[in-house]
Chains A and B, each alone.
Chain A
Amino acid sequence: MTAQAVAREEVVRAPAWSPAWISQRLQKVLLHVVVIGLTAAWMVPAIALFTSSFRHFEDINSTGWWTALAPPFKFTVDNYAKVLSSGNLGHSIFNSFMISIPATVIPTTIAAFAAYAFAWMKFPGRNYLFLALVALLAVPLQLTFVPVLKTYVSVGLVPQNWGFVGVWLAHAGYGLPFAVYLLANFFRALPSDLFESAEIDGAGTLTVFFRIVLPLSVPAIASLVIFQFLWVWNDLLVALIYVGGTENVAPVTVTLANLSNSLGQGWHLLTAAAFLSMIIPLVVFISLQRYFVRGILAGSVKG
């Protein structure tokens, strides 16, 4: 691919300072400016948060965060120390993991099985079921709170008895339509020859799923895991509804919201807390992104 790209560039390269050359250069520069601009616009709040979290309380209140980037440098880790020791942020992070991991694993697992059925198994009503599922994508979440909560209460599925099970199931439900949709489309794009070949080779449905479909779908599953994990980790509304704000069960998002009420004046601590909650999804993303290997199908069928 690289060789081709190089070759293509070679072909279209115009002589220096000709009009075509200038317009090509301009296009390139413009492209870079736009990309860098967008990236910067997206990064600024995060950088501001990051910088502020290392500043002293008085500085935060008196000057803008950018002044910290010029000498004299006066950074501190006090904010982090205070947040981690005093508040119950540590416990909230633990709660967030307790919620996010099952709330990612459950829907991803169910979705993988369901998507395989939708993509490669023939059963009556398949297309209508799939359509109904896609239609669920359009249902606003808020609409479901009252009926779902009522049902939970009536069957006793409340945090006091069942811990996080209720919120796991809720997140699984909210995540499934998109997850199934994404995976089914990916599975469908796998070459049908592979399935037929496996069938002749004697592989049953489950063997095909575990030995062929799953290994080939690692990129799709990795992106799904990232999406779902980020969504659950950053979610405040669903957690507030199904878990509540009680200290021992509240996830990071809920605790942060509470902090910003109680620490209205002390938002130097808030910056540190917020950054801590941001760093985890970032780590998840970076550690999973190497699975987005492109061209994983290369070599299977003539392309």
Chain B
Amino acid sequence: MASVTYDHVVKRYTADVTVVKDFNVEIKDKEFMVLVGPSGCGKSTALRMLAGLEQISEGRILIGDRMVNNVAAKDRDIAMVFQSYALYPHMSVYDNMAFPLQMQHMKKSEIDTRVRNASRILGLDNFLKRKPRALSGGQRQRVALGRAIVRSPKVFLLDEPLSNLDAKLRGQTRVELQKLHRDLQTTFIYVTHDQVEAMTMGDRIAIMNAGILQQVGTPGEIYDHPANLFVAGFIGTPTMNFVPASVSDSTAKASGFEVELPKSLPSGKGTLGFRPEAVTDRVAEGSPQFEMKVDVVERLGSDQFLYGQVGGDQVTARVDPRMAVAPGDRVKLGLDTRSMHFFDAESEQALL
């Protein structure tokens, strides 16, 4: 059990290939931290530097109070679950899980207790004698988890551990992992490119793009108060609506409508952002409203999504499923002004 600190960490492969830039984050003891971002943004690299598989070009990484920049991977007291699982194919499930303990020259009886304990937690009791090739993807994934938990490490690192599972199993394992985290009371650092995994599993989420940390916060903070245009667009499905707008005082004017913002901003151009659920078919008296020319209607039972044009802009609305609409209709929709975002045109930072 320990906290993890990235202190101005930089990873450079060559002079002009920098894949992680000035990375600063403090992960608390026993926290479930999710590192999320699009493919190639450097999240695996950030994790691998912590694991000791990659040299740190600049800055420091601390596990607890100990700087680990020059500590060998095996002495960092961490365990890692790989996307590919990386099971030893010639060893039985039991030996796979016992391997890290044998490396610590632990007593046979102690190894046995720990392996059996882990296999019970993960439901692997019936497979201990099998080789990995005789297991399903989900079972292999659990063996990989088992190999990590037998060591009782200070920190768990998981690099997209669910991406090889089918959708249903992924949902199940997501829940199991959270339970495991609760039971083990250990720091988890979990890398994924899937925002649903990030939102559902993380105590906190760190969002990266192009090697730069964009925002760190709880799922709620990130959803309700995205720090910039990238974060706002990355989290949430369907994505947030972005329409070009100009502000003067506290009024934002888009091509198809005008809204009163909760506070006044420096006047200028920018991007107005609002989530599909901020658009409603119940038009309240005095609240801003606009007319939408509907192109596509998506009914999901519990929800109904309308995709269409408002003025010159593309807008998505999440409305009551009972509202009767057909493609081609023009409908009147209202806007909830409590959850409006406004992003600076230059810096793309959130001003509201």
Contact = CB atoms under 8 A, between A and B. Distances in A.
Interface residues of B, number: 29
B53 A299 contact: no
A288 interface: no
B329 to A, nearest CB: 47
A201 B133 contact: no
Interface in B248-281: none
A215 interface: yes
Contacts of A201: 74, 99-100, 103, 147
Contacts of A199: 52-53, 73-74
Interface in A188-223: 191, 193-194, 196-203, 207, 211-212, 215-216
B330 interface: no
A301 B52 CA distance: 21
Contact of A197 (B86, B132, B137): B86
Interface residues of A, number: 24
A299 B135 contact: yes
Contacts of A215: 90
Contacts of A202: 74, 100, 103-104
Contacts of B53: 196, 199-200
A301 B86 contact: yes
Given A200-B73, A200-B80, A299 B133 contact: yes
Contacts of A297: 89
B132 A300 contact: yes
B87 A300 contact: yes
Interface in B42-73: 51-53, 73
B133 A200 contact: no
Contacts of B99: 198, 201, 203, 211
A296 interface: yes
A197 B90 contact: no
Contacts of B52: 199-200
Nearest to B157: A200
A190 to B, nearest CB: 10
Contacts of B74: 199-203
A155 B51 CA distance: 52
Nearest to B130: A299
Interface SS, A side? helix
A199 B100 CA distance: 10
B79 interface: yes
B148 to A, nearest CB: 9
Nearest to B135: A299
Contacts of A193: 82, 84, 86
Contacts of A203: 74, 99, 103
A194 B86 contact: yes
B13 to A, nearest CB: 14
B164 interface: yes
Contact of B131 (A212, A299, A301): A299
A298 B80 contact: no
Contact of B164 (A194, A197, A212, A302): A302
B88 A194 contact: yes
Contact of B82 (A196, A207, A295, A296): A196
Nearest to B141: A302
B281 to A, nearest CB: 45
B84 A191 contact: yes
A299 B80 contact: no
Contacts of B79: 200
B231 interface: no
A129 to B, nearest CB: 23
B137 A302 contact: yes
Interface string A275-299: 0000000000000000000011111
Given A197-B82, A299-B135, 9 more contacts: A193-B84, A196-B51, A197-B80, A199-B74, A200-B52, A202-B103, A298-B89, A299-B134, A302-B164
23 contacts: A191-B84, A196-B73, A199-B73, A200-B52, A200-B53, A200-B79, A200-B80, A201-B103, A201-B147, A202-B103, A202-B104, A215-B90, A295-B133, A299-B132, A299-B133, A299-B135, A300-B85, A300-B88, A300-B89, A300-B132, A301-B85, A301-B86, A302-B85
Interface of A: 191, 193-194, 196-203, 207, 211-212, 215-216, 295-302
